Structure 1
């Protein structure tokens, strides 16, 4: 009687002593742990590993069985004894190799963690530098505000000086007009007849009139001297005001030039700092990606390297040569005509394969309608057929992203189980 096995791990199923779950939509039965691991590794919505039916929490159901004593005795698990010492030695060697790989991976992980710690310290240092630059910018803004306040005061003083200068100009113009009128008066010549006419008016005598004219002349001369003195003082004040105004204009020009230079220097400093920080952040991102990429490759390689011991497997089947192409890399889905000497009911069969490790790849024969001929599933390694698995060796179709990683793990488990039984 054929044994019942789990389609995920290909281990035998003990319906009485193991936790089993079934998908409600399709009825397929799996180990509870295998199905839960399958659901956990599914990137989006979990589906049945066999028919792709939905298998969420509501679509799964635990199975319970009750058997008689006869069925219990018949279904009791069998104990496998290590009858072949050579297989045990190979198994121990394989376990040691896996432990060495685990230690290497742990060392790589520790190195990556130390590198991440160094990068985090560098990030903290960059943050401190950024804060220092912000403080410098704040001080520059404060200095700029102080300079602007000084500029406002200088402009106010300049406006006051300009107003005083206008007032002095008005006063000087008035004095110049008075001086011109006095000069005209002094230049007027009084004739003797006019003096006699004034004297004969009876108001003043001639001598008194002459004395009066003499006093008026002296008074006008004194007034003229006073006016000339005031005019000279006003001219001196105007000269001093012009000189002070020129100094203030020079100060204003210097202050404007300093403000312009300070703003330009501040913009240059900020641009340089921003570019430096952007370059540093970009370099840190590249370094982090460069540190994480080897780990991902090692993780993927850990699933595929399980096929490498198949080089030493020899079977009685006829080996079919097959050269590996240059563009066939690990993780590549290939499609090639059926040129491996296989026969089937269809003449237009096509081999669909998926590169797993090195030159090894897993091939599946499909006909033109797309249906899988699982009885003709072959396992290739180093460009040759090394085994023909049984019909139960079912390979899910190629996927993308996380589904591909999960598929690789399942294929590796199937291969290990197949060659362990053979």
Structure 2
């Protein structure tokens, strides 16, 4: 437990003239439906934390929850937890807008999803009396980053997916003890020199266009094609898929005969949703495909998720490893987390290792694998496997 209290706020900032489009009654119902979607979103994003109080009003077009940040023993920083919640929420709220209001109208509605952290000295009793007004003050005083469709993104994404204009990069994964390369993570970028070359922009645009799953499956398909029979002996390959794409992987991807492939689950799920993926993961294992759990420690993945899905590799996220060289307190927490994961039968991988002192700090911590710029930056697949 960090002792920090935060607020997650969802606000329809500017809507199209819904009454003119749907009629008054249908517009009210649509906003009520979005309110239910917003409540579900708050519940999903805060599943690992302790909700103190909640507010929702379709008339005000605003929904919010006050929560205490919990850590489950992982060496998390409250600010980084808040950023992870906000990042995931900004993608998910797009899906809610499109689902409730339709692809055309939903894409034209702007909304704001923000996470604010209160002062560590704020007591829970004080919070209950003032948190809604405090949140309004924060929203007024900070510049808003509205969630809206990107101009032209749907057309651009459709063209990229149709023409299969995805670049595949590989980043090495090493053994901590001797830095030997034992595997690679497949990463994807948009067309070289285009506005969507950066992966964050590519997938943000795919999300805004409602094509996230299509984009993830195409990236995985191309990574499989471009690495088949070309990896070094005994090297494994991790391929990133979100939960929706993961459910389709066994049917949509050429995974048979690829025992070196490991699927990396990249969006972290509250436990009540992760339970539905046990059968999906087991089916992949019958094909010889293993599972890695990405970014454990800064998203939704926690020890309960690990116990349920039994991944072969658990990747401690960069926000955890960033603290590896910051003193004995952080190092003890990382060591304890790694030992708990090893007892669950997982290999532990440290992501985002950038400095020699971070690598040195990982020695003797039950962390067998590592990845980061210290060992190698992502390079085009053709260069790596030439």
Shorter-chain-normalised TM-score: which range? under 0.3
Max Rg structure:
1
Instruction: Give the TM-score normalised by structure 1.
Output: 0.20
Structure with the larger strand share:
2
Instruction: Give the TM-score normalised by structure 2.
Output: 0.22
Structure with the larger helix share:
1
